[in-house]
Structure 1
Amino acid sequence: MNKKSTAGQDHFFAIIPAGGVGSRLWPLSRANAPKFLHDLTGSGQTLLQDTWDRLSPLVGNRMMVVTGDVHATTVAKHLPDLDPANLILEPSPKDSTAAIALAAAVLYKRDPEVIVGSFAADHVIKDDEKLLHAIEASIEIAATGKIVTIGIVPTEASSAFGYVKKGPAIAGTEGFEVADFIEKPNIKKAQKFAASKKYLWNAGMFIAPAKLLLDVLAKTQPKLHAGVMELAEHWDTENRTEKLHSIWPGLDKIAIDYAIAEPAAKLGLVAVVPGNFEWHDVGDFAAIAELQSQGNSNNLAVLGSAKVLSDSSSGILVSDTNRLVALIGLEDIIVVDTADALLITTKAHAQKVKAMVEALKQTGHSDLL
């Protein structure tokens, strides 16, 4: 981080989309307390705070957070250095395109030369320096008129992530043209991808001139583009609230991969910079258990304030209560203990928690979500 900043870096602004309930992490993650507002790593602070601290050596407080309006007070409390002018509150969830595009449009109105980078609030990254180096390399390429994604060098054949296929190298940079985006493959395809060295995990990080992002959106989703641009026009005025409540409900829900990244790749506008660092999206409790087991000699990892007695048991226990939990002879177990709900499953069945959440919705137990 001692390298002299480039013109692109001087106009760089980070966007942190902080949305999603994280239903595979129920009952810890709820609508009013989603996973980015929890400490899931044992760092002593939330994933959102970790994300802010990770990016700040490069951008200072040039960060914009997009989150639900119900989280306004909590986010402001967790991020005291966040400029209130850089907090965008969504009246309702609209998926990643609306969130990122609105942030990009607001920043573009303030600085037509701005280069934006989108970094999820709920990911875990183990080597901040390598991430920041990859961002710097991405900014240099983005400044030439590209949308750049940081692709994670696979450490295993995983079917849990989408992939980015590398094309030709971009001369004089650390990047490659993007040949294709691939949806989550089956395990056989994932094994081939990992062996070929041509594929990277799609971590959902995008760095690009805001104008380019918005120009692509205008072609692929003209109604959504028109909506966010009208909102941006009035964002820093007294008309913001009125416009937000009239325009936002009509915006389409669509992921940025489908609305911008994949169409732009077909036009030759997307590059990828390999990120050779440890990255986790902590999508379920099994992922948290694996994360906690690294360098941990104890068979049972404990997050939270529970009193625990464990005999011949392994896995993870996550708690926000003070009650005693005793485990005997249980392997790869997941126990999540909250004030109004208790989840007990195994690492092998962790992905099924989302189906349990759907069942709660269908049976009229939305108060537990």
Structure 2
Amino acid sequence: MTDSQNVLLPVVLCGGSGTRLWPLSRETYPKQFLALTGARTMLQDTALRLNGLSHIAVAKEPVLVCNAEHRFLAASQLQEAGIRGARILLEPAGRNTAPALTLAALQAVSEGGDPVLLAMPADHVIANLQAFHTAIEKAFAIACGGAMVTFGIVADKPETGYGYIECGDALHGGGAHHIASFAEKPDLARAQTYLDSGNYLWNSGLFMVRTSVWLKAIESCRPDILAACRTAMVGAQKDIDFVRPEPSAFSACPSDSIDYAVMERLPARPELGIPACVVPLQAGWSDLGAWDALWQVREQDARGNAQVGDTIQHGCSNTLLLSSSRLVAGVGLDNIVVVETADAILVADKRQTQDVKHVVSKLREEGHLLTQTHRKTHRPWGWYDSIDSGDRFQVKHIVVNPGARLSLQMHHHRAEHWIVVQGTAEVTNGEKTFLLGENESTYIPLGHVHRLTNPGKVPLEIIEVQSGSYLGEDDIVRFEDNYGRVNENHAPAT
């Protein structure tokens, strides 16, 4: 990282589970990793959002803070987007945005710089990049002067799902305001009052602040958070492309948001000398908090229908139809959301999509795994799709990326049959290593050490049939692994 004072460092906050976008968003594959609005995922769009910013020097390598369970997914998506060298900080447990930004600030200090940090949640939509860049340039000048800046979305309706920011005096030069106060999510009547006043903005969750200013603010407002994060980063370990804060220290850190921990306290703490400011933003922003928000940002037909994937409709209006794997047909629907995945279907009134989180909570209480994983599961070497399963068998469609390999492993309770569908497989089976081509197969007896490698230049596809007394994903002993998972407990079986 350059040690110039006037550089902008993107900090992508990639936590969150996106429960209100179930069944597409799951714990192991939340909404920030989904391509909901175009060809790129939301994480990729966020990481590329500052491309083309012309008047500010932007650090070439962003910092990304994400859950340790999502590390390979995040790394592969950044690489697919052409982003190399990003520092990926792995949270062993979610502690909200204030500790996440503090980790990023400490990482920046360890590299010898004092950049201006731009904290961007990875699950937001910005439709108008030019307007966004203009707001960034205004905020950068203010942040370079020692202020902490947030971005307030210009409200166009009485929204009850967002917090609000009351604008105070305009800053010299225009385009921004001191913050007079913050307001919690209002009821409809109060939201209408805020809208009518013209003096309130939606709280976007985007923040800009110089590294040293943030550390001063968090030390003054929440010294317990800073102390825990410092201890965690002192004990951090580097692992391939990742930085792992010391787990026990970070897990002991209090959970709090940037808003509550610091931003809302600054107006009452003038002795700190850190002004709290807001830049209005009109850039087609959405946090995609629920399915109705996705409906709003997707292209719609003349009757207000948005269709994603293999869908067809007749006589529908104001409806969202989304298909992941099968044809979804809608007839005569009004104000309805239909979302299909390979293992679950959601049908909801579009006006009540915020309540999807209650369905997720109930599924968790009943022990359903559908809140955690998709049938299709991504791994650092590729992915697998659990096609079928029964009492003593499981069938998977496995795809291994070119040049990738699974760990050298052994199972105590199951045997496996591998059939090559496409590509070439290099198989280690006990003492032997050999190649298999299309339509060839092998049998891995229970207890045999084995490994699957793709030595070719095209994806390797196999069908795996598991059989045995126990088929759980934790039945694995790893001896070697390209991805640092040898010592992990309860590691996925493939």
TM-score of the alignment, normalized to the shorter chain, above 0.5: yes
The one of 356, 377, 398 equivalent to 1:353 is: 356
- Taking the aligned partners of 1:229 and 1:337, their CA distance within structure 2 comes to 44
Q: Is the 8 A contact 2:10 2:59 kept in 1?
A: no
Q: How does 1:1-369 map to 2 (within 5 A)?
A: 10-41=6-37, 43-58=38-53, 59=58, 61-80=60-79, 81-84=82-85, 86-235=87-236, 244-268=246-270, 269-294=275-300, 296-297=301-302, 299-304=304-309, 306=310, 308-314=311-317, 315-321=319-325, 323-369=326-372
Of all paired residues, the percent bearing the same amino acid is 32
Q: Is the 8 A contact 1:18 1:121 kept in 2?
A: yes
Equivalent residue pairs, number:
356
- Taking the aligned partners of 1:13 and 1:233, their CA distance within structure 2 comes to 21
Deviation at 1:140, TM superposition (A): 0.7
Alignment gaps of 5+ in structure 2? 373-494
With structure 2 as the length reference, what TM-score do the two structures score?
A: 0.68
Q: Which has the higher strand share?
A: 2
Which residue type is aligned with residue 124 of structure 2? Answer: H
After superposition, give the CA deviation of every residue in 1:295-325 in whole Å (9 maximum; x if it has no partner). Answer: x336432223x3x33221231122221x222
- Taking the aligned partners of 1:148 and 1:221, their CA distance within structure 2 comes to 18
Which residue type is aligned with residue 20 of structure 1? Answer: G
Q: Is the 8 A contact 2:236 2:244 kept in 1?
A: no
Which residue type is aligned with residue 325 of structure 1? Answer: V
- Taking the aligned partners of 2:359 and 2:210, their CA distance within structure 1 comes to 41
- Taking the aligned partners of 1:349 and 1:173, their CA distance within structure 2 comes to 39
Q: Which has the higher helix share?
A: 1
Question: Helix, strand or coil for the counterpart of 2:69?
Answer: helix
**CA root-mean-square deviation:** 2.1
After superposition, give the CA deviation of every residue in 1:231-279 in whole Å (9 maximum; x if it has no partner). Answer: 33454779x9785123111111111111111112322420111112221
Q: Is the 8 A contact 2:8 2:59 kept in 1?
A: no
- Taking the aligned partners of 2:356 and 2:237, their CA distance within structure 1 comes to 41
Alignment gaps of 5+ in structure 1? 1-6
- Taking the aligned partners of 1:339 and 1:242, their CA distance within structure 2 comes to 34
After superposition, give the CA deviation of every residue in 1:307-357 in whole Å (9 maximum; x if it has no partner). Answer: x33221231122221x22222211111111111111111102211101111
Q: Is the 8 A contact 1:148 1:270 kept in 2?
A: yes
Deviation at 1:183, TM superposition (A): 0.8
Which residue type is aligned with residue 330 of structure 2? Answer: L
Q: Is the 8 A contact 1:227 1:247 kept in 2?
A: yes
Residues 1:61 and 1:258: Cα distance change in structure 2 (over 3 Å): same
Q: Which residue of structure 1 lines up, in the alignment, with residue 469 of structure 2?
A: none
Q: Is the 8 A contact 2:336 2:350 kept in 1?
A: yes
- Taking the aligned partners of 1:23 and 1:243, their CA distance within structure 2 comes to 26
- Taking the aligned partners of 2:282 and 2:328, their CA distance within structure 1 comes to 39
Between stretches 56-65 and 87-96, larger displacement belongs to 56-65
* Higher gyration radius (CA): 2
Q: Which residue of structure 1 lines up, in the alignment, with residue 428 of structure 2?
A: none
Which residue type is aligned with residue 18 of structure 2? Answer: G
Which residue type is aligned with residue 337 of structure 1? Answer: E
Q: Which has the higher contact order (CA 8 A, sep 6+)?
A: 1
